[in-house]
Structure 1
Amino acid sequence: MQTAAAPPQTPRTPWRIPAFRRFVSASLISAAGSATAPLALAYSVIEQGGGADSLGLVLATNTLPTIVFLLIGGVYADRLSRSRILFLGNLLAAAAQGALAVTVATGHATTASIAACGLVSGTAASFIVPAVQGAMAQLVPAEHLQEANALLRLPTNAVKVLGPVAAGFLVAVTDAAWALAWDAATFAVAAVLLLGLPLEAPPAPASGVLADLRAGWAGFRSRTWLWTYTAAGTVLVAAWLAGFQLLGPLVADREYAGARDWGLVQAAFSCGLLAGTLVCLRWKPYRLLAVAVAASAALALPLAALALTLPLPLVLAAALLAGVGLDVAIVAWSTAFQQHVPQAEQGRMSAFNGVGERLAIPLGYGITALATHLWTGRTVLLACAALITAAAALNLCVPDAHRVNRRTPEAQGVTP
């Protein structure tokens, strides 16, 4: 007598899924290298005689391709095997960082050669980012997506705390070339781990790249919750980068004990990111998108604290809360996105969302540079805090922000 085969059981935790463990391992290894890259890149420019202008050019060439090619990367993330895209993207990044390490080690590095390697690395990132965003829902059951997103961020946030310290030590003891070579090696190892993961291309109609882009744009516009979150995120990211990254060190230098106190503020923010990840492992809110929007408003706290020159312990507490809020927002948003966007569209939707937030980088820095000629740094900091609060508040007024909620295992399908 034959008996029906028992249906496969859903794993109780993402850690029981071998492909997920490989994915997290690759992310951790890559993050360990990437954490050393900014400092090594800065010192490679300094060592060949470059100044602020040269470093600005290098950073711009690294960022520009992620804006130009991100949409193309999103299209291919929906057309090809995401495992293969991740493998080739990490391999390309490894080659670029390896070439840069060689030129720095041999003394042949110039601003132009460093910028060229940054251009290649930025291009690789344009294809990696959309593929990563679409990969999680292929590896993990829907009910475990939040836990998986938090587990993915836990080790990378830890690296953000320790990485810059390790990079400084490595560059001080050796030179920038060794840190760059380490970054290249981690990309190569990550590429090997990502090859062969079950991330086959989702079924999609046979059409051209431009047709896919047009269809992606139509899908992006049709999801009010997606484009309003992207628009609010562009304002929020611009205000945060301008206030925290650009003006924060300047205010700390004038009103506090300079680099020492600013280092403590950054450490508090990084610890907040770690704490936020731990919160997401325990707390699973139903209203995912509304929580993501509300939690992001915490980024206004350290900007306001710095602008009002509150005592340092209060500034540190504000930075800690901002880190918690940001990580909760990222995990909640990623989970909502993965549950409510079809697999066949996640690459393109992620790319359109990413382009908006990356445009915030030059926008925020450019506007702030102009604003500081008209107002004091403290006034601009208050304006940035107000913009973050207003962007979050307005986004919460969008009805769709309260309709994109956690899906139960029984609730199949996606939002239109």
Structure 2
Amino acid sequence: MNSRHQLPAWADRTYRIQTTATVVSGLGNAAAPIATAFAVLAIGGGTTEIGYVTAARLVPTVLFLLIGGALADRLPRHHVMVAANLFNALSQAVLAVLVLGGGVRLWELLLLSAAGGAGQAFYQPASLGVIVQSVPPEHAGKAFSVYRMALNGAQIGGAALGGALTAAFGPGWVLAIDAAGFAVAAGMRVFLRIEAAPAADGGGHGMLHELREGWREFASRRWLWAIVLQFAVVMACVEATETVYGPVAAQRHLGGARDWGLAMAAFGIGMVVTGLPMAAWRPRRILLAGNYGVFLFACPALALATTAPLPVLATAMFAAGAGVTLFGVNWMIALQQEIPTELFSRVSAYDSLGSIVLAPVGTALAGPAADALTLTGALWTCALLTLLLAALALTVPEVRTLGRPATA
């Protein structure tokens, strides 16, 4: 039988190419933060310097996300993705050469991390718009679950490979793999054929008018901005834990890059395994079900705070990965269900912007916080803030009650 006919009807050409390209670039993306953190450690840096490098990546993402969202609603989205992928391939290739040459300096790590964050700001709103645009609403649960399973599978392989290669050969080769992945993904996305979203030209209005339209859509939904406010602080805690405290704790108490890579791989396994039941589960109250996953985001910080051995840390990371998929699939269903297609990239840009706006602050202050509170105290603070905010989100009525249509 032709393999084309064995695929589900909702997995059209656009969906298949975008999902495959996301896996290709995702392998390197999962490994690159591990490599970058240990590149900083290799030149004598610590928690403060890792935090600064991570913040340097996040600040341009925050600054350019809204422009990226507006462009993705104005232009064919795959054109935006290809340009962003090529830019990221170039910036990571330059960084890899510097690290492999052995003479990389902190300012170079800061500058090239910032370049990578700028590329991500243009890529992310367009990529989400492509997936939502290609999936029929009646198949959204299955399609988003499979997409996240594919992405999360890349997280497993990339994190494990990144940790192993960093430990065996140093971080430079891992960064080179990331650059190659971006280049290959850009080549694949050239073959996408996607028109600009319906009515995306805004009737001749300028970009500021289109951004105001997106803001009105975003601000008119209390469930949307309430979850985004929650994530502004939660993601600051998660970024500080995963990109700053985790590598440092692994260096001090575990086996360094190899063990942290295994822990991150366990995180990816949790995301993939949870994707299997999410493909079939259809909770009526989608945001309520998704928000339960946010409680699990605190598990890695709790494990690291108690200097848990690797098996316990891996279990905590697995649980957090499960929480990411539980939240992420239901969140995507809610956005597709409630947000008009022609405004989707702009609204998702406001979503992403609000969710990460404090992440650069969290990572930049991670080192000083660890100095003031000790590493253990900073990790406990991250864990407790995450749990508190997950509970506070449930006080918003729409978060508890927003559901699927009766016919869905």
TM-score for both structures, normalised by structure 1? 0.82
Give the match's secondary structure for 1:125.
Answer: helix
In structure 2, the partner of 1:211 is 209
Report the Cα offset of residue 303 of structure 1. Answer: 3.8
Pick closer, same or farther for the CA change 1:404–1:324 going to 2, 3 Å: same
Larger mean CA deviation between 306-315 and 284-293 belongs to 306-315
Pick closer, same or farther for the CA change 1:136–1:113 going to 2, 3 Å: same
Corresponding letter in the other structure for 2:221: R
1:135-146 equivalence runs, <5 A: 135-146=130-141
Corresponding letter in the other structure for 1:362: P
Are residues 1:128 and 2:123 paired?
A: yes
CA distance in 1, matches of 2:243, 2:178: 23
Corresponding letter in the other structure for 1:51: G
8 Å CA contact 1:91–1:191 kept in 2: the answer is yes
Are residues 1:51 and 2:45 paired?
A: yes
8 Å CA contact 1:279–1:328 kept in 2: the answer is no
CA distance in 1, matches of 2:35, 2:303: 31
1:191-206 equivalence runs, <5 A: 191-202=186-197, 203-204=199-200, 205=202, 206=204
Give the match's secondary structure for 1:69.
Answer: helix
8 Å CA contact 1:276–1:326 kept in 2: the answer is no
Larger mean CA deviation between 314-323 and 69-78 belongs to 314-323
Give the match's secondary structure for 1:51.
Answer: coil
Are residues 1:118 and 2:102 paired?
A: no
8 Å CA contact 1:40–1:171 kept in 2: the answer is yes
Report the Cα offset of residue 190 of structure 1. Answer: 0.9
In structure 1, the partner of 2:185 is 190
8 Å CA contact 2:235–2:355 kept in 1: the answer is yes
2:277 to 273, 276, 279: 279
CA distance in 2, matches of 1:43, 1:237: 22
Structure 1 spans left out of the alignment, 5+ residues = 1-10, 412-416
Are residues 1:21 and 2:20 paired?
A: no
C-alpha RMSD of matched pairs (Å): 3.3
> Which structure is higher in helix share?
2
Give the match's secondary structure for 1:352.
Answer: helix
Larger mean CA deviation between 216-225 and 111-120 belongs to 111-120
Pick closer, same or farther for the CA change 1:200–1:177 going to 2, 3 Å: same
Report the Cα offset of residue 127 of structure 1. Answer: 0.5
Report the Cα offset of residue 94 of structure 1. Answer: 1.7
Q: Which has the higher contact order (CA 8 A, sep 6+)?
A: 2
In structure 2, the partner of 1:72 is 67
Corresponding letter in the other structure for 1:165: A
In structure 2, the partner of 1:352 is 350
CA distance in 1, matches of 2:331, 2:382: 22
Give the match's secondary structure for 1:35.
Answer: helix
Report the Cα offset of residue 361 of structure 1. Answer: 1.8
1:264-413 equivalence runs, <5 A: 265-304=263-302, 307=305, 316-365=314-363, 369=367, 372=370, 375=373, 377-407=375-405
Report the Cα offset of residue 38 of structure 1. Answer: 2.7
Pick closer, same or farther for the CA change 1:373–1:25 going to 2, 3 Å: closer
8 Å CA contact 2:19–2:151 kept in 1: the answer is no
Corresponding letter in the other structure for 2:353: V
Larger mean CA deviation between 273-282 and 360-369 belongs to 360-369
CA distance in 1, matches of 2:377, 2:39: 35
8 Å CA contact 1:138–1:199 kept in 2: the answer is no
Larger mean CA deviation between 391-400 and 264-273 belongs to 264-273
- Aligned-residue sequence identity (percent) comes to 36
8 Å CA contact 1:299–1:325 kept in 2: the answer is yes
8 Å CA contact 1:237–1:357 kept in 2: the answer is yes
CA distance in 1, matches of 2:107, 2:365: 27
CA distance in 1, matches of 2:107, 2:313: 40
In structure 2, the partner of 1:148 is 143
Give the match's secondary structure for 1:276.
Answer: helix
8 Å CA contact 2:266–2:314 kept in 1: the answer is yes
Corresponding letter in the other structure for 1:186: G
Number of corresponding residues: 397
8 Å CA contact 2:37–2:243 kept in 1: the answer is no
Give the match's secondary structure for 2:358.
Answer: helix
8 Å CA contact 2:61–2:120 kept in 1: the answer is yes
Report the Cα offset of residue 41 of structure 1. Answer: 3.5
Structure 2 spans left out of the alignment, 5+ residues = 1-6
8 Å CA contact 2:10–2:139 kept in 1: the answer is yes
Pick closer, same or farther for the CA change 1:61–1:252 going to 2, 3 Å: closer
Deviations 1:70-122 (A, max 9, x none): 11111111111101111111122122223334445566754444443333322
Corresponding letter in the other structure for 2:225: W
In structure 1, the partner of 2:233 is 235
Report the Cα offset of residue 329 of structure 1. Answer: 0.7
Deviations 1:343-394 (A, max 9, x none): 1111111111111222232333456555556656555544433322221222
Report the Cα offset of residue 228 of structure 1. Answer: 0.4
CA distance in 2, matches of 1:102, 1:264: 26
Report the Cα offset of residue 43 of structure 1. Answer: 5.5
CA distance in 2, matches of 1:21, 1:217: 31
Larger mean CA deviation between 54-63 and 157-166 belongs to 54-63
